[in-house]
Amino acid sequence: MNKPLAPHIRTEARTGHMMLDILLAALPLGVFSYVNYGLRPVILLLISMGTAILCEALCCLVGHRPLRTVMDGSAAVTGLLIGLLMSPMVDYWVPMLGAAFAIIVVKAPFGGFGRNVFNPAAAGIAVLTFCFPRRMFSYPAISTVSTLPLSMTVEAGEAVVEQSLAAQLRAGATPSLSKLQLLLGDFAGPIGATAALILGAFIVYLLFRRSVSPWTVIPYFVTCAVIAWLFPLTGMGRLYSAMAQLCAGYVLFTGVFFLNDPVTTPRFWLGRLFYGFFTAILVMLLQRIGRAEAGSCFAILIMNALSPIIDRWSWHVWHWLMRLRHFRKEVKAHG
Amino acid sequence: MRGIEELPVPAAVRMPVGRADKPSPIASLPEEAPLAAGQVLCTPEGDVPVVSPISGILEGTVVMQNSLYGSLLCADIQPEGERTDLLPVIPEDELTASVILDIAREAAVYDELDGSPLWQKLQRWQLPENDPAAKTCILVADATENDVYGSSAWAVLMEQPRLALFGLQMAARALRFSRYHIATMLPKRRRRTLKRAIGRENVYTVGDEYPVTVYADGDTEVYRIGIQACLALGRALKQGLRHTAAIVTVAGDGVPAARNMRVPFGTDLRALLSACQAESHVLPILGDAMTGVACDDLQTPILPGVTTVLAMKPRPIRVPKPCIGCGRCAAVCHAGLLPYEIVRRAENMHYERLQHLSPGDCDGCAVCSYVCPAGRDVAAEVLKAGETKGTMFLNWGEDDNE
């Protein structure tokens, strides 16, 4: 008989529950995209998730790992994130390629969920950005479409293509959007990265469920907001410019999803604080000088590589500070 | 919270008197000798005497193979009569530090916090006369319950608070400490009753946290003993009674209701569980739910140090999953460690880099294992890592030397 080790009571929280939280909370984003563009983005999401799950199952079979690891939901989340960053009019094979790359190249070779160095979804998007920039960043104008045809391609020119908000800001143009439109996500952009209100509600839900840490989220958003406030990109006032910069591209999406991937972020609270802070600086920097949209993905990948170092050093710094404090106390007490 | 109930007299009590590979220390006692409760069976050199926990007849010695304690030589005592062997009671004003230490030893008082003899601790901690450190040291009677199931310390406080306080005062006198208090996390209403009974200044309320880390205010050096040890010392000094029983909470989903039982040392788990109407096929756990040891041998005797026995229905053991790095273990670690990183380095055999993370500071409170969503036994892995020193090759060398 196998004797259980202490503790004999355990928390109800499970890894799978954390992933399920993300999947459930992302449902409103799916509904939002359906309302804006019809069934096509929903199919894109399902294809992306399905490909990721299939690839994960394949990797489990090849790596002689139990198939039940697919059920932890991490592959589905990777697929979902890739799908949410697709343009609604992208070809169906593009998210499939991104999801397959994320799972087969970025996740599985390192040992699967929990051992990957880079965020698979961010890496998948980065590769798609390099390979298919035109397909990735061609967005249909939201005001002109009610439903996108299911069998459309970017080349066919079946939808009115509009410059994204991030591209407009980078080009120095003044967006013709009201503040309400910015908040509601009523502008051209990726399937799930424009709805600021939904993403805001989502992060509050995840914080409440303790699926994400405030030590990363708060420094990230505060730093982003401060930078956007200090260095406006439009001449429509600091507040509008800050709002536009936060809603543009993947800035919000990164803060909500990529930044909170537990595997690739530091675990120690001080490390998380540094991680959120430096990611925000990098994201805002790349938003100006790099490829407008995908700058966040590259920022996340760079920070993923630095994450273990940030984690360890922040812990050492914290302990040195604590020792110093203790030493001062001792000196004070005993002369 | 239940009061303390007396365990019905068990069919037999097997009191460990020594190791099975050594000669019997009670060979001089005749077979079928009548024994009084508290009568000394033997006195190992430099240790406290082993006393008979009940009044009965000595049937001889038996060797007991136990999965937890190893091979034990036990005195087999059948209950009979109600004889009690008492120590002389000395007036309170004559109780000097050395007299209290002698009585703590003679009465075989054990500290339930770790199961060690109380007099050894007191002797180790005792300050010289007029030592200025007496002002900064405090003796704390630990009556906290670090477990959702346990209530034995609270039951002691509710039933005999004055005697327990007297024991604590005498222990502090033996140590030459001027400060002492009882640390508890009793619910507010009961705490008020307790403060009325023994004085507000003698009760310290600890935070409702696991594990408890702060037992006194300010910059003081805290020395802890168990509340049951205080009670046992108080009973020995006031009533001449030796320490022969533990107060044990029996709880868990395998018993109809949680109960606090006074259990003579040497009583086996089977007798205790059947007295509490435990279901068959329960898995007994000696100790609390966070750090207790699963023990499927129902002949295991209750010995000093056991304050909780959990009767848990068997449940499937969760298959641990890979660490996803949620950082919850680091967030809850009261020692400020990085459990996930320690486990990772140990798994990757980076022993030479392990010591920078101070795994030896882990006290095994197991709260990291409790919160782990991947179901890993983080605490066990950290404790194991704490035992490694330097490189794995050094560890091999250590094994060879043993």
CATH number at B161 reads: 3.40.50.11540
Domain ranges of chain A: 15-334
Closest CA to B125 of B18, B253, B224, B235: B224
Enumerate helices (H) and strands (E) in chain B, giving the number of each: 12, 18
Closest CA to B115 of B262, B295, B306: B306
Q: Which backbone phi and psi does B15 adopt, to 5 degrees?
A: -95, 115
Closest CA to B24 of B70, B88, B76, B67: B76
- For B327, nearest residue in chain A (alpha carbons): A267
Per residue of chain B (402 residues), give pLDDT as tens.
Answer: 678 999 988 888 999 998 888 888 887 888 788 999 999 999 888 889 999 999 999 988 889 888 788 888 999 999 998 999 999 999 999 999 999 999 999 999 999 999 999 999 999 999 999 888 888 899 999 999 877 888 899 999 999 999 999 999 999 999 999 999 999 988 888 889 999 999 999 999 998 888 888 899 887 899 999 999 999 999 999 999 999 999 999 999 899 999 999 999 999 999 999 999 999 888 899 988 888 888 888 889 999 999 999 998 887 777 888 888 888 898 899 988 889 989 988 888 888 788 888 888 898 899 999 999 888 999 999 998 888 765 555 555 544 444
Tell me: cis bond preceding B284? Omega within 30 of 0 counts.
Answer: no
User: Domain ends where: B312, B346, B365?
Assistant: B312
Retrieve residue B342's tokens: 């320690």
Q: Residue A158's pLDDT is what?
A: 58
The pairing of strands B116-117 and B110-111 is antiparallel
Best of A1, A2, A3, A8 to substitute, by most chain B Cβ atoms within 10 angstroms, is A8
Is residue A248 within 8 A of residue A101, CB to CB? The reply is no
- Angstrom CA distances, A85 to A124, A125, B60, B401, stand at 10, 8, 80, 61
Whether residues B247 and B235 fall in one domain: no
Could you tell me which residue, A136 or B182, shows the higher pLDDT? B182
Residue B338 domain-assigned (yes or no): yes
Among the partner residues B294, B340, B370, nearest to A4 by beta-carbon distance: B294
Q: What is the average pLDDT across A237-257? A: 88
Is residue B261 within 8 A of residue B318, CB to CB? The reply is no
**Per-residue pLDDT at A1 exceeds 50:** no
Q: Residue A159's pLDDT is what?
A: 61
3-state secondary structure A258-306: HHHCCCCCCCCHHHHHHHHHHHHHHHHHHHHHCCCCCHHHHHHHHHHHH
Angle formed at CA B77 by CA B159 and CA B50, multiple of 5 degrees? 65
Q: What is the DSSP string of B326-381?
A: --HHHHH-TT---HHHHHHHHHTT-GGGTGGG-GGG-----HHHHH-TT---HHHH
Whether residues B223 and B253 fall in one domain: no
CA–CA dist B237, B240 (Å, integer): 6
CA–CA dist B158, B160 (Å, integer): 6
Q: If you count them, how many residues does chain A have?
A: 335
Residue B322 domain-assigned (yes or no): no
Q: If you count them, how many residues does chain B have?
A: 402
Q: Exposed/middle/buried for B73, CB within 10 Å: 0-12, 13-18, 19+? A: buried
Identify the three-state secondary structure at position A151: coil
User: Domain ends where: B252, B283, B312?
Assistant: B312
Among the partner residues A11, A213, A316, nearest to B327 by beta-carbon distance: A213
The nearest CA of chain B is from the CA of A276 a distance in Å of 15
Whether residues B131 and B179 fall in one domain: yes
A202-227: b (≥16 Cβ within 10 Å) or e:
bbebbeeeebbbebbbbbbbebbbeb
Query: Are residues B296 and A1, on separate chains, in Cβ contact within 8 Å?
Result: yes
Mean pLDDT estimate for chain A: 86
Residues paired with residue B64 on neighbouring β-strands, in sequence order: B72
Highest mean pLDDT among A141-155, A162-176, B287-301: B287-301
Chain A interface, Cβ < 8 Å to B:
1-11, 13-15, 17-18, 69, 72, 74, 111-115, 213, 262-269, 272, 311-312, 315-316, 318-319, 322, 329, 333
Residues of the domain holding B119 = 92-239
Order of all β-strands in the sheet with B56-66: B13-19, B70-79, B56-66, B34-35
The nearest CA of chain A is from the CA of B330 a distance in Å of 6
Q: Which backbone phi and psi does B350 adopt, to 5 degrees?
A: -90, 60
- Angstrom CA distances, A286 to A188, A191, A217, A250, B292, stand at 20, 21, 19, 11, 53
**What is the dihedral sign for C-alpha B138, B249, B156, B75?**
negative
Q: What's the pLDDT tens digit per position in A283-316? A: 999 888 876 577 889 999 999 999 999 998 998 8
Q: Which helix (H) or strand (E) holds B14?
A: strand B13-19
Residue B140 domain-assigned (yes or no): yes
Residue B318 domain-assigned (yes or no): no
Whether residues B222 and B98 fall in one domain: yes
Closest CA to B157 of B169, B170, B141, B138: B141
The nearest CA of chain A is from the CA of B70 a distance in Å of 17
- Which chain B residues are Cβ-neighbours of A1 within 8 angstroms? 296
Residue B354 domain-assigned (yes or no): yes
Query: Residue B376: CB partners within 8 Å, gap ≥ 6?
Result: B320, B321, B323, B343, B369
The answer to whether residue B220 neighbours chain A at the CB level (below 8 Å) is: no
Whether residues B145 and B173 fall in one domain: yes
Is residue B75 within 8 A of residue B15, CB to CB? The reply is yes
Which residue in this structure is represented by tokens 């409103």? A28
CA–CA dist B243, B40 (Å, integer): 11
Amino acid identity, position B101: L
Among the partner residues A10, A315, A329, nearest to B370 by beta-carbon distance: A10
- Which chain A residues are Cβ-neighbours of B287 within 8 angstroms? 6
Domain count, chain B: 3
Among the partner residues A114, A267, A318, nearest to B322 by beta-carbon distance: A114
The nearest CA of chain B is from the CA of A20 a distance in Å of 13
The answer to whether residue B294 neighbours chain A at the CB level (below 8 Å) is: yes
The answer to whether residue B199 neighbours chain A at the CB level (below 8 Å) is: no
CA–CA dist A168, B167 (Å, integer): 79
Q: Residue B401's pLDDT is what?
A: 45
Among the partner residues A3, A13, A312, nearest to B373 by beta-carbon distance: A13
A231-256: b (≥16 Cβ within 10 Å) or e:
ebbbeeeeebbbbbbbbbbbbbbbbb
Q: What pTM was estimated for this model as a whole?
A: 0.80
Could you tell me which residue, B239 or A186, shows the higher pLDDT? B239
Q: What is the average pLDDT across A168-180? A: 79
Q: What is the average pLDDT across A54-66? A: 90
Residues paired with residue B84 on neighbouring β-strands, in sequence order: B37
CA–CA dist B335, A61 (Å, integer): 41
- Which chain B residues are Cβ-neighbours of A330 within 8 angstroms? none
Retrieve residue B304's tokens: 């000093």
Q: What is the DSSP string of A1-31?
A: -PPPPSPSS--S--HHHHHHHHHHHTHHHHH
Q: Residue B316's pLDDT is what?
A: 78
Query: Residue A217: CB partners within 8 Å, gap ≥ 6?
Result: A203, A207, A255, A259, A260, A276
User: Domain ends where: B239, B257, B284?
Assistant: B239
Q: Which helix (H) or strand (E) holds B136?
A: none
Q: Exposed/middle/buried for B189, CB within 10 Å: 0-12, 13-18, 19+? A: exposed
Closest CA to B292 of A7, A4, A3: A7
Identify the three-state secondary structure at position A139: strand
Is residue B173 within 8 A of residue B134, CB to CB? The reply is no
Query: Are residues A7 and B321, on separate chains, in Cβ contact within 8 Å?
Result: no
Whether residues B232 and B96 fall in one domain: yes
The answer to whether residue B338 neighbours chain A at the CB level (below 8 Å) is: yes
Q: Exposed/middle/buried for B323, CB within 10 Å: 0-12, 13-18, 19+? A: buried
Q: Residue B351's pLDDT is what?
A: 80
The class (CATH top level) of A15-334 is mainly alpha
Whether residues B56 and B106 fall in one domain: no
Whether residues B98 and B235 fall in one domain: yes
Is residue B13 within 8 A of residue B56, CB to CB? The reply is yes
Whether residues B106 and B179 fall in one domain: yes
Retrieve residue A275's tokens: 């991680």
φ/ψ bin of B109: left (φ > 0), alpha (ψ from -120 to 50), beta (otherwise): beta
ipTM over 0.85: no
3-state secondary structure A106-124: HHHHHCCCCCCCCCHHHHH
Residue B323 domain-assigned (yes or no): no
The nearest CA of chain B is from the CA of A230 a distance in Å of 33
- Which chain A residues are Cβ-neighbours of B325 within 8 angstroms? 114, 262-265, 267
Among the partner residues B291, B296, B321, nearest to A72 by beta-carbon distance: B321
Closest CA to A192 of A49, A65, A19: A49
CA–CA dist A165, A168 (Å, integer): 5
Retrieve residue B13's tokens: 């009590």
Residue B258 domain-assigned (yes or no): yes
Query: Are residues B290 and A7, on separate chains, in Cβ contact within 8 Å?
Result: yes
* Other Cβ atoms closer than 10 A to B163: 19
* Other Cβ atoms closer than 10 A to A269: 17
Retrieve residue B69's tokens: 């304690």
- Which chain A residues are Cβ-neighbours of B374 within 8 angstroms? 15, 114
Residue A187 has what DSSP assignment? S
The nearest CA of chain B is from the CA of A292 a distance in Å of 30
Query: Residue A32: CB partners within 8 Å, gap ≥ 6?
Result: A185, A192, A195, A198
